[in-house]
Chain A
């Protein structure tokens, strides 16, 4: 069996060259100025300092806020759904979960584009509204359209982990809670919710990660001027050409994600005990 250890070599080389080195490269960019040549390195905090300018700080805060809001709404809407599904018969559950999963397979572009059909100024909704004499409502290119896109796109990522942990739960625990005199609310709060927390934490992490780093959805549903962190990174790399600043933003995004993930993990551990 020993000889098969060597099979890992191509993967190892690939991981080092394509993943590890480029990631270090970005850190290098983030802390240096000007020029994309490695030869002319000069260390600086400037790229991060630039971030404190109001325009950029606003982008971060807005992304953060939108990410939190999206995650929260997904949780509030998704949890009851997962609960309803988990209480259906085995066969029905399979079907419903499949219905939840399929959109995850549909290209995100397509799902986002689909909303444009409905929301645009001369789109279907406004046309229907006009028929009953209501003036056109501007829905495209607003916070509303972006949020709607984010929520509908990422909802399955909240529902599935919650459903998994609800489904894994021993049903007799719920009966035991009733048996011991808990009412419906107490049973939910003290037993069901507590036991589904791992799934909830997973769902929150996934949705938040996806929402805060989203880039296509705000671009399409928010318009060219709509800026979230993802769009800022793209513009720095593709249109502005300030790679150093772009790298610094990416690092900040990565730090935000890592921090929130470790925070959630810690909460999960504390609550679990």
Chain B
């Protein structure tokens, strides 16, 4: 490979600056003393203190965590089972089912949100945690399903046969061989799903209850009113959380590759 020219380096720099500078500004000003997010006046953690003292925020955070964990758990079960089932059938409907499985990732979120809202309303389901949970499975299941399916496709079918050949019943072969081998995919898919659930705002806006708020919804409603240092602090925390999830995710992927 040849070295990039100076022009290319500058170009790379500008694009990355555009992508990262705004986020960097958010982080920097979250530690700023002044209320006005314009000039740096000094280091302070007061905005974080204020944030942690905020009851609503705490509640929103807890809601988000519960929702993320629950939708990720439900999706992991349904998605993994679905992927295994999908790999074992040879019907003509398989194509349609596979198409449906990626549908939620192709339909714009806004339409999904609106569709779900109308549907829940018609069913007379009270808007709240349950509707949020069901709604979040819409984008969580496809992620897990796709990860697990990819893993299953890459797996040698004679592994399970070998287990049965060595004396395992089909059930044992599944639990002793197939399940451990797809587990990393289930884990990485679930992490992805968890991150998506923790971040989702568009679908949640449509289907959250009147008094229920998740962290992203909280941020969304507050941002609309303008820039404040508290939100800078909140955003920084969310960013840190995302980075943490990313690290765990890449760790799982590494494990996953090792097993190949």
- Using a CB–CB distance below 8 Å, which chain A residues touch chain B? 1-12, 14-15, 18-23, 25-26, 29, 36, 38, 77, 80-81, 84-85, 87-89, 96, 99-100, 102-103, 105-118, 120, 122-124, 127, 152, 155-156, 209-210, 212-213, 215-216, 219-220, 224, 230, 233-234, 237-238, 243, 246-247, 250, 253-254, 257
Is there contact, CB below 8 Å, between A254 and B107?
yes
Would B160 and A1 count as touching, CB distance under 8 A? yes
* Residues of the B chain whose Cβ atoms lie less than 8 Å from the Cβ of A216: 201-202, 220
Q: Which residue of B lies closest to A102 (CB)?
A: B246
Residue of A80, A107, A116 contacting most chain B CB atoms (<10 Å): A107
B121 contacts A111, C-beta separation under 8 Å: no
Among B19-27, B41-49, B52-60, the one that faces the other chain is B19-27
Residues on the A chain within 8 Å of B110, using CB: 213, 215, 230, 233-234, 250
Query: B108 interface residue, CB < 8 Å from A?
Result: yes
Query: Which residue in A8, A21, A257 is a CB contact (below 8 Å) of B82?
Result: A8
Q: In the complex the two chains form, what is the Cα distance from A8 to B223 in whole Å?
A: 42
Please, how many angstroms separate the alpha-carbon atoms of A181 and B39 in the complex? 58
Check if B242 sits within 8 Å of A84, measured CB to CB. Answer: no
User: Of the candidates A107, A155, A234, which one forms a contact with B19 in the assembled complex, judged by CB atoms under 8 Å apart?
Assistant: A155
The verdict on A7 contacting B108 (CB below 8 Å), with A124-B38, A155-B19, A237-B114 known, is: no
Q: Is the CB of A4 within 8 A of B88?
A: yes
B209-235: contact bitstring with A at CB < 8 Å (1 yes, 0 no)? 000000010011001101100011001
- What are 11 contact pairs spanning A and B, CB under 8 A? A1-B170, A4-B85, A6-B85, A8-B86, A88-B4, A100-B19, A116-B227, A155-B19, A209-B106, A234-B205, A250-B114
Complex CA gap A14/B213 in Å reads 25
Q: Is the CB of B103 within 8 A of A19?
A: yes
Q: A117 contacts B111, CB within 8 Å?
A: no
* B109 touches A (CB below 8 Å): yes
Write out the residue numbers on chain A whose beta carbons fall within 8 Å of the beta carbon of B231: 113
A11 x B82 contact (CB < 8 A): yes
**Contact residues of B between 7 and 38, Cβ < 8 Å to A:** 8, 11-12, 15-16, 18-23, 25-26, 29, 36-38
| Secondary structure type dominating chain A contacts | helix
User: Contacts A5-B89, A18-B137, A215-B202: A105 and B195 contacting too (C-beta < 8 A)?
Assistant: yes
Q: Say if the beta carbon of B62 comes within 8 Å of chain A.
A: no
Chain B residues with CB under 8 A of A127: 38-39
Contact partner of B15 (CB less than 8 A), chosen from A81, A108, A237, is A81
Whether B219 pairs with A113 at a CB distance below 8 angstroms is yes
Q: Which of A7, A111, A224 contacts B22 (CB 8 A)?
A: A111
B138 close to A (CB within 8 Å): yes
Whether A36 lies near B122 (C-beta < 8 A) is yes
> A7-B82, A155-B15, A246-B114 known; A220 and B223 CB under 8 Å?
yes
Inside 8 A of B117's CB, which chain A residues have their CB?
Answer: 237
Q: Is the CB of A152 within 8 A of B18?
A: yes
B184 CB to closest chain A CB (Å) equals 19
Extra 8 A-B pairs, beta carbons < 8 Å, given A81-B11, A117-B22: A7-B85, A10-B82, A77-B15, A108-B201, A110-B26, A113-B26, A123-B37, A155-B19
Complex alpha-carbon distance, A228 and B214, angstroms: 25
Check if B115 is an interface residue, CB within 8 A of chain A: yes
Q: List B47-92 residues whose CB lies under 8 Å from chain A.
A: 77-79, 81-82, 84-86, 88-89
With A and B bound together, what is the CA distance between A102 and B195 in angstroms? 13
Q: Determine whether the beta carbon of A118 is less than 8 Å from that of B22.
A: yes
Alpha-carbon gap, A88 to B97, bound state (A):
41
